[in-house]
Amino acid sequence: MRGAHVASMDQATRGKASNTGLPAPADAAQLEAILAAHADSEGALLPVLHAVQETFGYVPAAAVAPIAEALNLSKAEVTGVVSFYHDFRDAPAGRHVLKLCRAEACQAMGGRGLAERALRRLGIGWGGTTANGALTVEAVYCLGLCAIAPAALLDGEPVARLDGPALDVLCARAEAP
């Protein structure tokens, strides 16, 4: 039997398919399993949020109340952590994720201009997703590739010595159906 802390997620999503493509009861069961796996852990919020994002691709708003209840936290505390850490998303990412380095070495090697070029080309801001859902652009603060800057990650794969034409090719590939 599922715990009471997923009831609010059930109420919010009953009869609806979720953004994850799974029926809402499956989402609630997955959330319950994540919470159960961390039930006896101290300081479980970050591991729970990482597991939720790994499972759903983001931290759904409907999951905040059950997480808070299970961990004896306020909804504001959970929401605050989700919004504070850049790696947590409160909406699904695009099919591809481009992380552009914003650290000093990459900036010194033209990273700022490349970032402006990408955002202007795609018509989005930082953390935004293209209208077709193909590409999300996120800032990252050092990839450890300073010697071969400017650098980025596309779907977790490093791209180094990035320049304007290479960036255009990355964006075009990611936007392709």
CATH number, domain of 125, equals: 3.40.30.10
Is the domain of 33 the same as that of 102?
no
**Which range marks the domain in which residue 116 is found?**
96-175
Is the domain of 27 the same as that of 75?
yes
Is the domain of 80 the same as that of 8?
yes
Residue 54 pLDDT > 90: yes
Residue 91 inside a domain? The answer is: no
**Token code pair at residue 12:** 């919010």
Q: How confident is the model at residue 176 (pLDDT cuts 50, 70, 90)?
A: confident
Distance CA 131, CA 141 (A): 25
Token match 């794969």: residue?
Answer: 157
Residue 136 pLDDT > 70: yes
Residue 107 inside a domain? The answer is: yes
Q: Which residues pair with 159 in a beta bridge?
A: 152
Residue 19 pLDDT > 80: no
Residue 50 pLDDT > 70: yes
Residue 5 pLDDT > 60: no
Residue 135 inside a domain? The answer is: yes
Q: What is the pLDDT of residues 85-105, one digit of tens each?
A: 988 998 899 999 999 999 999
Residue 100 has phi, psi (to 5 degrees) of: -100, 130
Is the domain of 104 the same as that of 139?
yes
Average pLDDT (30-45) is 94
Is the domain of 56 the same as that of 26?
yes
Q: Given this model, what pLDDT does residue 18 score?
A: 54
Residue 142 inside a domain? The answer is: yes
Residue 90 inside a domain? The answer is: no
**Token code pair at residue 137:** 């652009």
Q: Given this model, what pLDDT does residue 26 score?
A: 78
Residue 66 inside a domain? The answer is: yes
**How much is the mean pLDDT over the chain?**
87
Last residue of a domain, one of 58, 84, 110: 84
Is the domain of 72 the same as that of 105?
no
Is the domain of 10 the same as that of 69?
yes
Average pLDDT (156-175) is 94
Last residue of a domain, one of 84, 113, 136: 84
Number of structural domains the chain divides into: 2
Residue 89 inside a domain? The answer is: no
Q: Given this model, what pLDDT does residue 28 score?
A: 87
Residue 15 pLDDT > 60: no
Is the domain of 115 the same as that of 164?
yes
**Token code pair at residue 79:** 């929401």
Distance CA 164, CA 19 (A): 34
Last residue of a domain, one of 20, 52, 84: 84
Residue 80 inside a domain? The answer is: yes
